[in-house]
Structure 1
Amino acid sequence: MKVKGEARERIIQTAAYLFQLQGYHATGLNQIIKESGSPRGSVYYHFPNGKEELAIEAVKYTGEYIEKQIKESMAKSLDPVKAIQHFISVTANQFNDPEHIEGIPVGLLASETALISEPLRCTCVEVFKNWADIFADKLMQYGYEKEEAEELGMTINSMIEGGIMFSLAHKDKEPLLRISNQIPYILRKKG
């Protein structure tokens, strides 16, 4: 039974990587099968509804991966500014080796498929919300009211996602670092 789980995981990881590298529409099931080293039947066995189902699982996989990174960063400091800046720094440092960036396909898949796949769009929304909620939880621990923390969590997550897109376009981590520099101003307590 463990082998089946490993094969499924390998297919999902390969799909996530290929969706990130070349997009949803440019990635075919045949390429995923070949790159994952899986027999053709195993892809259809694990994902009987095809590419859309596989993309949903790839988004969930990536969502969990990034969620773990965000939680680890939030645990690095009691100060939410430092914790959020740590996460942005970890993300930005991936741009030192752009060929091996992990965890980017959620934003790319959302922009590419939002108008053509409602299930995939909803999965992306759920993943984005989970990430924003982690930031909001950190802010509430620091004393922000729930509503303000949720708004700031969504804003911070949106800034990071936008910074990732800018960094990808520029092939440079500088846009993310600039966002990191703005975190103290965004989280300035109203007095």
Structure 2
Amino acid sequence: METKSRIIETATALFQLKGYKGVGLNELLRECKITKGSLYHHFPNGKEELLIACLHSLNESITAQIEGIFAHYPTTLEATEAMIDMLIGQYEKTGTIIGYTVSSMVSEMATLSAPVRTACAELYYNTQAIYSKKLMAEGFTESSAQSIAVSLSALVEGGMMLCLAQKSSEPLRTVSDVLPKLLRN
């Protein structure tokens, strides 16, 4: 694996586990098995530039994963339930949800850095576009589909954060239970 890709992959996992501020430069260098010079060679503007690269990488992988799930199921309800079941399975297997949520990074950094906020917002826009497109294909108006997509994004993201905070998969199960009401046309 190319050094830059390895740095992004390792840093992404660290940032998701500990938050941006919770990962010190020395820990980042140690875990990535690189020198400070190597970090600044690949990311001349330092740790924040690396965070933005991590967010772009997450955006690509999460968007592709959601697109795949939504292409596989005929309805938004079935696709969303499958996505939530996958998240619950990951949480119950590992005790965390890695590679799927950027909420911790948004809450920690978005008010401090416009480029970080923009990178985070892209992921939410992409997922909402996937949800909205599927909903419109099911007959929802564009306005209704967009409103539901925002609500769905907030429910799933909030459910993931509550799972982590409460150390339980129940919040995502609750989200799954209310989906049929939200997705009624």
Q: TM-score range by the shorter chain?
A: over 0.9
In the alignment, what sits opposite 2:64?
68
How far residue 99 of structure 1 moved from its aligned partner, in angstroms, is 5.2
Count of residues in correspondence between the two structures? 185
In the alignment, what sits opposite 2:161?
165
Q: Is the 8 A contact 1:59 1:105 kept in 2?
A: no
Q: Give deviations 1:64-120, integer Å, cap 9, x for gaps.
A: 121122112102211211011111111121111335632245111000112211110
In the alignment, what sits opposite 2:76?
80
How far residue 173 of structure 1 moved from its aligned partner, in angstroms, is 1.3
Q: Is the 8 A contact 1:92 1:176 kept in 2?
A: yes
How large is the Cα RMSD of the aligned pairs?
1.5
Q: Is the 8 A contact 1:74 1:138 kept in 2?
A: yes
In the alignment, what sits opposite 2:103?
107
When the two structures are superposed, what TM-score results if normalisation uses the length of structure 2?
A: 0.94
What are the ranges of 5 or more consecutive residues in structure 2 without an aligned counterpart? none
Report the Cα distance in structure 1 between the residues aligned to 2:106 and 2:169, rounded to whole angstroms: 22
Report the Cα distance in structure 2 between the residues aligned to 1:96 and 1:180, rounded to whole angstroms: 16
When the two structures are superposed, what TM-score results if normalisation uses the length of structure 1?
A: 0.91
In the alignment, what sits opposite 1:147?
143
2:91 to 86, 92, 95: 95
In the alignment, what sits opposite 2:23?
27
Q: Is the 8 A contact 2:101 2:157 kept in 1?
A: no
Cα pair distance change 1:99/1:31, threshold 3 Å: farther
What are the ranges of 5 or more consecutive residues in structure 1 without an aligned counterpart? none
How far residue 29 of structure 1 moved from its aligned partner, in angstroms, is 2.5
Sequence identity, in percent? 37
